[in-house]
Structure 1
Amino acid sequence: MENKSKRIFLVPTDFSEVCNNAMKQAAIAASEMGAKVYLLHIINTDTRNYLRKENLATSSLDDKMNAMVEDLKKEYGIEAAYKIKEGSIFTDIAEIAEELNAALIFLGTHGKTGMQHLTGSFAIKVITSAYMPTIVVQERPFNHAPKHIVLPVTSEAGPMEKTRHAAMIANAFNATIHIYQIGASEEQVSKAVSIMSEFFDKNNVAYDIKVATAGNFSKQVIDFAVAKNADMILIMTNPDKNLTKFILGSYDEDMIFNVPQIPVMCVNPRKKEWEKLRLL
């Protein structure tokens, strides 16, 4: 297992532009947080077809990955390394992330323009298989660390975990958290927001609170994020205490694949039995 003294940011890549974008965003975050970027390429059928089409040897992957690592070190002044493994993007990304003790996965998601088609349901399988949070990055470039983070609150069920992640990101980048609450009439949600606010106050996190009106909450969150010039939206995947795996609903997918292409941090619940929010 990788040394736990330094955070690891894992970036799966198929060498497409969107994966390069994820790599750059990971490098920017790593330079601010003193973390190490680990690039990962999973050799699968798509890779072999690509190599055959381009008449390239498998060894060319090492050359390409090594060049990318050296560029990261030079441009961002960070530690970087890479790993190449034969396998499946759906299972091996999460396994290698755990093996490296990665703190975050930066996942580029795109249409059928890359070697491996990490889009739609394929990306969701990767997100929900990982124990650690995944930051989903689309084609839109963000050349700076997050400064405005939207934190939607839809339930009283266990938002403390994503609140901790939000506080960590906010403190690392001197960012502001914009809490977006589903409705003032939801008493338990209001209670959760109150406790979250107390947590942010204790941890010197700048934040504000906005309550949504009736209507399509997904659309309102995205419109709110655009209005706030948000660099990130942070959500928790829907927990189901009857399931041992994490699930994503249409709300989550609306967030993850949002049209303005704002990066989304997806936090998976760490416990199979979901607990309601409580004071620490």
Structure 2
Amino acid sequence: MENTNKTILVLWDFSPKAECAFAHAVNFAQATGVDITLLHVVKGDKDVEPAEKKLGEIAEKLSAQANISVHVQVIKGSIFKSISSYASHSHVEMVVMATHGVKGIQRFTGSWAIKVIRGSKVPFLVVQDMPQGKKYDNILFPVDFKKENIEKIKWAHFLYNLYKGRIYVVHPRVSDQSFKKRIYSNMVFTKKYFDNTDIPYTIDTIGKDLAKDTVEYAKKVQANLILIALSKTLTFADYLMRPAEQDIIANDAKIPVMVISPKPKQLSGGFSATGN
């Protein structure tokens, strides 16, 4: 039966990596008081019932271990369309999924993680390993020239409300005057917002390679989460060129990455970004 309560959706493919996603979901569920739902995608009708049975057994075990309500949902379709559609039209507050990083042919056709996330109205937390702790309080907030940077500020506020800590704001060094002006505008907006909400933050400049230098800085400050936003204009050509978002998501430090799609869903309940 479908869960009608607010929930954190965990993509479950019966791999050990899915257990990493569940562990991160537990951290957020305990902090916000919402349930967890395991979601598995199948290709045909005949696969639904066996998957539900297998998933139900796993959910029962995980629920007992974590002392959290764990529901199950099996849907039919393509992972690149059905997951974001289900998340956007259900009571889902956040999706947690594990990735093995970018490898093989995906280096040329783009990270499947980005393809799954595109179009979602809720944020995705993409993880590669088990959590290092219970909190996400050392947050790296890269700012570039894209206007989508503004849309992730509310989520930085949400995370601060949950865990306190500090936001590390970084921006790349650029020579193009147009990009420089747009980065400056985004930085002014970000600084003003954090000043008005009394969120502790630092600002620093990184190198020209946004993905590489963001990850290196994250290692330096021991960030336990990187917060990024996808561009509205990400095209197939961008996938071929390996967008910065792809390399940040698949970072070699295996730092969790929260990914916001443009115009995310309004937060509610335990996921209030403003604390109201």
Question: Which bin holds the TM-score, normalised by the shorter protein?
Answer: 0.7 to 0.9
Q: Match of 1:90?
A: 80
Counterpart amino acid of 1:33? T
Whether 1:126 and 2:116 are equivalent positions in the alignment is: yes
Q: Does 1:204 align with 2:198?
A: yes
Aligned residue for 1:256?
Answer: 249
User: 2:214 aligns to what?
Assistant: 221
The 2-side partners of 1:31 and 1:120 are apart by 34
Cα deviation code 1:31-66 (max 9, x no counterpart): 011121111011127x96xxxxxxxxx655334322
Q: Aligned partner of 2:14: which letter? A: F
Q: Deviations over 1:116-174 (max 9, x none)?
A: xxx95322210114222111111354342212110100115242210111110121122
Residue in 1 aligned with 2:54?
64
In the other structure, the counterpart of 1:168 is 158
Greater relative contact order (Cα 8 A, min sep 6): structure 1 or 2?
A: 2
Distance in 2 (CA, whole Å) between partners of 1:8 and 1:203 is 27
Looking at structure 1, the residues matched to 199 and 68 of structure 2 have their Cα atoms a distance apart, in angstroms, of 26
> 1:27: which partner in 2?
26
How many residues are treated as equivalent by the alignment?
249
List structure 1 segments (4+ residues) > 6 angstroms apart after TM superposition. Answer: none
Partner of 1:44: 43
Aligned twin of 1:139: 129
TM-score with structure 2 length normalisation? Answer: 0.79
The 3 A distance-change label for structure 1 pair 77 and 201 is farther
Asked if the contact 2:139–2:167 (Cα under 8 Å) also holds between the matched residues in 1, the reply is: yes
- Does residue 231 of the first structure (1) align with residue 224 of the second (2)? yes
The residue type equivalent to 2:258 in the other structure is M
Match of 2:160, SS state, is helix
Query: What runs of 5+ residues in structure 1 fail to find an aligned partner?
Result: 49-57, 113-118, 272-280
Instruction: Return the match for 1:180 from 170, 189, 192.
Output: 170
Identity %: 26
Normalising by the residue count of structure 1, what TM-score does the alignment of the two structures yield? 0.78
Name the SS of the counterpart of 2:139 in structure 1: strand
Query: What's the C-alpha RMSD, in Å, of the aligned pairs?
Result: 2.9
* 1:192 counterpart (178, 186, 192): 186
CA deviation after TM superposition for structure 1 residue 21, in Å: 0.3
Q: Give the Cα–Cα distance (whole angstroms) in 1 for the partners of residues 148 and 84 of structure 2.
A: 23
Q: CA deviation at 1:207?
A: 1.4
Cα 1:160/1:125, change in 2 over 3 Å: same
1:105 equivalent to 2:81? Answer no
